[in-house]
Chain A
Amino acid sequence: MYPRTTERCPEEAAWALAAQRGDVQAFTNLITKYERAVYNLCYRMLGNPNDAEDAAQEAFLRAYKAIDRYDPRRKFSTWVMSIASNYCIDQLRKRRLLTLSMDDMPFLDVSDKGPGPEGAFFQQEQKQEVQALLSHLGPKDRAAIVMRYWYDYSYDEIAEALSLTNSAVKSRLHRARRSLAQAMADRENQAVPAQHMPYETQTL
């Protein structure tokens, strides 16, 4: 598992309280601390940098507008990740209603910057592989997997963020792992059976 990247820092509660009193600078401190985590979640959910940027910005904007409702005794990261994942889930559901555009194909995206041509190539290839794998999951399953494997969230934290019960999280993660294993098998076989088509390409 990854080391926790959303550990609560001592100033977090103070920043959140100050933000609740209308201090924008305190809120921007929270953004600086969690922008990477939120952006990564949005990227893993939506699959391309433009949508990820837009979703992350929107998530922080929604968090700022709703800061009065935030309970500083809770972790800010869980709260803002919950807002971001719900926004991304909505976006994926909307996207599902539209026809798949070329822009939505993460494996065609080459706009990301990275270190050196060779390193960038392998990084890009791995990124595409991961995104292709995640695209086999439904929005909520994808969010649960991202929270579990990138942020090492506990079942309780995932349940809180996605408004699910603990047992629902367990069953979603189990189902998602099975889908990912199946996607891996399909990739090896170089053929994608109809019942395991990527989520975005499924018809209603």
Chain B
Amino acid sequence: MKHKHYEKLVLLDAPLPPKEAQTLHEHTAECDACYRLSRNWREAESLLLSSSQIAPDPGFTARWQARLSEADSRAGRRQSLGMLSLSGLGAAFFLVLFFWIWGQALDAGWIWGPWLADMATWGRAAAQFTPDFKSLTFHMPPSLPVFLVMAFFALLGAAGIAWLKILRLFMKYQNLTTHV
């Protein structure tokens, strides 16, 4: 208990009041453990205090700028890849949706007119490849069209956000290259 108290005083990093300093001095004069602790800590402390700050090699900021530019281009590549995948998925989804609706519209006789002849032919051909989709319509929930519209707007929103991010990244890159 007594040692703990003196250990605390020895390891305190603030100047001791004269009375406590005197008590500690008297104790360390007769207690070998506390004396050694005090001496060792003073040595360690003076070693810490005598060592100066170490500086990095010259050109630290330039190296950081190069690192930032590399990190940005890596992020840009990742984002472009993500955008491309998203666009591909979106395009595939809308293509399938388009042919499905086209086939349905042809069957229902909603599409007519000589100016649509060619497209109608393609549509009929496409409709032949989508018999499963047509048969699926009997089992699909009535809320499907609403869901499709929502999915369309969600995709549109995602594409918008991605585009804004790319724009921001591009502007940041521009800002960096003008200052380097």
Interface core residue of A35, A36, A184 (most chain B CB under 10 Å):
A184
CA distance A183 to B40 in the complex (A): 8
Chain A interface helix/strand/loop/mixed:
helix
Q: Which residues of B contact A2 (CB under 8 A)?
A: 49
CA distance A35 to B43 in the complex (A): 29
Of the candidate stretches A71-79, A83-91, A170-178, A194-202, the one touching chain B is A170-178
**Taking the complex as formed, is A81 at the interface, i.e. its CB lies under 8 A from any CB of chain B?**
no
Chain B interface helix/strand/loop/mixed:
helix
B49 nearest in chain A by CB position: A149
Q: Which residues of A contact B68 (CB under 8 A)?
A: 24, 61, 64
CA distance A36 to B48 in the complex (A): 17
With A60-B64, A133-B44 as given contacts, are A22 and B172 in contact (CB-CB < 8 Å)?
yes
Flag if A25 contacts B179 (CB, 8 Å): yes
**Taking the complex as formed, is A190 at the interface, i.e. its CB lies under 8 A from any CB of chain B?**
no
* B 142-174 to A, binary, CB cutoff 8 A, 1 in contact else 0: 000000000000000000000000000001100
Flag if A148 contacts B13 (CB, 8 Å): yes
With A23-B175, A28-B64, A64-B68 as given contacts, are A36 and B41 in contact (CB-CB < 8 Å)?
no
CA distance A129 to B56 in the complex (A): 20
A-B contact pairs, 18 of them (CB 8 A): A31-B61, A31-B64, A36-B56, A39-B54, A39-B55, A53-B63, A56-B60, A57-B63, A112-B54, A126-B47, A129-B47, A130-B51, A177-B13, A181-B37, A181-B44, A184-B41, A184-B44, A188-B40
Closest 7 CB pairs of A and B: A181-B41, A181-B40, A184-B40, A180-B44, A39-B56, A40-B53, A177-B11
Residues of A within 8 A of B (CB): 1-2, 5, 22-25, 28, 31-32, 35-37, 39-40, 43-44, 49, 52-53, 56-57, 60-61, 64, 112-113, 126-127, 129-130, 133, 145, 148-150, 173-174, 177-178, 180-185, 188
